[in-house]
Amino acid sequence: MNVAYILYIVSIIIVLVRVNIYYMSKMDKDIFFYLLMNNDNTLLQKYRDYFPACNRIPVACDSYIFMIVYILYIPITCCIVLLKHAKNIYNDMRLYIKHPLLLSKGMAYNAVLPYISRGSQLTPTTFNKIYWGKLFKKLGIDTPAIRGTIKDGVIKYRKGTVLDKKSKYIIKEVHGCCGNGVEMFDENNIPSTGYYIIQDYIELGGIHKTYRIITNVTDITSTLMEVYSLSNTSLVTNISQGGELTMITNNNDNMLLAAIEQSIKAHNRVNCVHSCNTIGWDVIIKDDRAYFLEGNIGVRVNNDKYIKYVDYFYKNKV
């Protein structure tokens, strides 16, 4: 390859990076830097939940893809804004060039800011299925019981556990996300590698439906941001697994209202130790009970004013 051509490409990349540094907000730069420099790229994999076709791309490529996106973020942002925001193009262009990570529907902000907040002790394995189960139990919140674990093909039931042959159970990766590794439990056909929990299965019949309750920190306490449901004919309701999202605008259901109050309570408890600006709580409602499955950081937020809350958290906590 011609040396002059290589130098030309390198020069363009340097110019793009310099322009990026100038225009991008410090908060977005901090998040990009964290994602690019962190050895564990689990957080990067979350984009697959919103672009299911990308599940075909090897995980090892995620860091390189993100690096290319960073270099080309301004033209990418301009193209997306031109396509989606033609009605208010000037204001939107300014907003999205300053905060390109808004294109992740807020996911990048609530996924990474807790890790770079002042005094953060979070690691990619802190919030896992066992952690959430213990939290809900401490707070007296209904959650499907964890009956045991599977680690590298070895089942370990909790003390005193006897599985009811008439009941159904489910397995989930302890550190899994995006619905990966979730399947019905079969004692005679278990994964030979990996770390899983064995949990009671809440059977709804027909369409599988979960609610995601988004709570957000405003000043010193948590409040409701929004609620949406995720439904699917298959076992997992995540968007990356074919789930359908429906915004819930009428919160008059008593069980849902009670679950919202419990979500706020749980968020406040989490924030006694970890500074999390936004948490999405996965809940199943069956009959007259709401069962909490887990909390999530790195969640989609549909509120148009979300960046104001993110800015507040960044200025006061990071």
Residue 244 has a pLDDT of: 92
pLDDT at residue 92 in the model: 83
pLDDT at 135 (0 to 100): 96
Q: Residue 114 falls within a domain, yes or no?
A: no
Q: What is the dihedral of CA 148, 206, 181, 59, to 10 degrees?
A: -160
- Mark whether 286 and 216 lie in a shared domain: yes
Strand intervals (E) in 74-207: 146-151, 154-157, 169-173, 183-184, 195-200
Instruction: Give residue 60's identity as a one-letter amino acid code.
Output: A
Q: Are residues 302 and 289 in the same domain?
A: yes
Q: Look at residue 110 and tell me if it is in a domain.
A: no
User: What is the domain extent for residue 151?
Assistant: 146-200
Question: Is residue 116, in this structure, part of any structural domain at all?
Answer: no
Q: Which two tokens stand for residue 157?
A: 């039931």
Report yes or no: 266 and 292 within 8 Å, Cβ to Cβ: yes
> Residue 283: in which H helix or E strand, if any?
strand 278-286
Per-residue confidence (pLDDT) for residue 197, from 0 to 100: 96
Write the CA distances from 301 to 60, 206, 213, 277, 309, integer angstroms.
27, 27, 10, 12, 11
Residue where a domain stops, chosen among 104, 121, 156: 104
Claim to verify: residue 157 and residue 44 sit in the same structural domain: no
On whether both 229 and 277 belong to a single domain, the answer is yes
Cα angle for residues 121, 122, 128 (degrees, 5° grid): 140
pLDDT band at 1 (very low <50, low <70, confident <90, very high): low
Q: Has residue 122 been placed in a domain? A: no
Q: Across all residues in the chain, what is the average pLDDT? A: 89
Does one domain contain both 134 and 183?
no
**Whether residue 137 sits in one domain with residue 175:** no
The lowest-confidence range among 85-89, 162-166, 233-237, 291-295 is 85-89
- Tell me the C-alpha distance between 316 and 318, whole Å: 6
Residue 94, pLDDT above cutoff 90: no
The reply to whether 152 and 133 lie within a common domain is no
81 pLDDT above the threshold of 70: yes
Q: Residue 273 has what pLDDT? A: 92
Question: Are residues 42 and 170 located together in one domain of the fold?
Answer: no
Residues 136 and 255 in one domain: yes
What is the number of domains present in the chain?
3
pLDDT of residue 262: 97
The strand pairing partners of 199, in sequence order, are 146, 170
The model carries a pTM of 0.81
Across 288-317, average pLDDT: 92
CA dist., res. 114 & res. 178, Å (int): 19
Encode pLDDT of 11-56 as tens digits: 888 888 888 888 899 999 899 888 888 777 677 777 777 677 777 8
**Same domain for 138 and 275?**
yes
Q: Convert the pLDDT of each residue in 214-246 to its tens digit.
A: 999 877 788 999 999 999 998 899 888 888 999
Distance separating alpha carbons of residues 178 and 42, to the nearest angstrom:
11
Q: What is the pLDDT of residue 252?
A: 79
pLDDT computed for residue 83 by the predictor: 80
